[in-house]
Homo-oligomer: A and B are copies of this chain.
Amino acid sequence: MQEQVAAGIDIGGTNTIIGLINERGECLAKESIKTWDYPRVEEFVERLHAIAVAMSATAGASIAGVGVGAPAGNPDRGTIHASNLPWQGVVPIAALFEARFRLPVFVTNDAKAAVLGEMTYGGAREMKNFAVVTLGTGLGCGIVLNGEIIYGHDGFAGELGHVIVTPGGRSCKCGRRGCLETYVSATGIKRTAIELLATEIEDSPLRSIPLPELGSVAIDEAAARGDSIALKTFRRSGEVLGLALANLAAVIHPEAIFLQGGAARAGAWFHDAVKQAMNDNLLFLYKGKISVQRSTLHGGAIIGASALVWRATGMSGKGGSVTPPAPPSNP
């Protein structure tokens, strides 16, 4: 009998990743496409289906279901609605995938998929109160309280990236200004670097990088070589995130906050600045009691999206001590 796998799909503002994950959380195959190469969502679904079919044939595995993590995914309605994707308005993504795959499809917010990964395979297996912050093109956040994923009244809790941290500040794709993700995300960190290249006069290797290639990886490499603009970029980004995490802590009081995503894997210059700023701004009640940890998971969102399949179909899932997420009740 062929091994059963789940297709985990992580729809991001830049890349969409699809992987086949078995019940032990092992990724058997993985591929990435550029989300904006598909202005029509039907072509996007068609392409992912073709990749999945090819990957499962190569791996000799049978796909049991599809888990989709996407920005502003609505788990109950199976829709996505995001400002940083090519498709406008509310997209019935679950129905589109179901029609093509002829398999059960489960949708969640990409950040909540990251939470599922962390609570199924990662550092939060024994925790009942924690948050996961994903630093990708945007900034996502999944929250677990009392052992349950928090969806809020209508499925959109955890939009920490759209907390306004600087009224009148940087313009955001959501139409407002000053959102956290305009300062802290792969894109936000890049914007801070550009700002510093304008306001500072120091020499920097970043000045000779074409803007399309100036990303958090290039800035991290410059920081590793001691470049002061790059180091200052991460320090400032860390200060903004640290304050935001201290404020998040005052509202939900988590045991730990996990950082996931490409930018979270930057060097100690970033992580130390985040921890320092969070602790500097933490209310006395929480001092020394809330850890900020880099996630040990890699490819977190597809792993978490795959966990949706095992949990929903009741096949297996390494449950840990946490309650499976309940879908939100929409009145």
Contacts and interface: CB of A to CB of B under 8 A. Distances in A.
Given A145-B145, A251-B248, A156 B285 contact: yes
A4 B252 CA distance: 36
B143 A251 contact: yes
A284 B128 contact: no
B253 A157 contact: yes
A154 interface: yes
A162 B283 CA distance: 7
A152 interface: yes
18 contacts: A83-B284, A129-B153, A143-B251, A143-B252, A145-B157, A146-B146, A146-B326, A153-B253, A154-B286, A154-B289, A155-B253, A156-B253, A159-B251, A159-B253, A160-B251, A167-B243, A175-B284, A251-B251
Interface string A266-300: 00000000000000010111100110000000000
A251 B252 contact: yes
A129 B154 CA distance: 9
Given A146-B146, A148-B146, A164-B281, A153 B329 contact: no
A158 interface: yes
A283 B176 contact: yes
A72 interface: yes
A254 interface: yes
A239 to B, nearest CB: 9
A290 B81 CA distance: 18
A169 to B, nearest CB: 12
Contacts of A281: 164, 167, 176
Contacts of A284: 83, 174-175
A94 interface: no
A53 interface: no
A246 interface: yes
Total copies of the chain: 2
Q: Which of A145, A151, A250, A281 has the most C-beta atoms of chain B within 10 angstroms of its own C-beta?
A: A250
A151 B284 CA distance: 17
Interface in A208-255: 243, 246-248, 250-255
A133 to B, nearest CB: 12
A146 B154 CA distance: 11
A153 B289 contact: yes
Q: Which of A128, A150, A254, A289 has the most C-beta atoms of chain B within 10 angstroms of its own C-beta?
A: A150
A28 interface: no
Contacts of A29: none
A158 B329 CA distance: 23
Given A146-B148, A164-B247, A283 B159 contact: yes
B252 A157 contact: yes
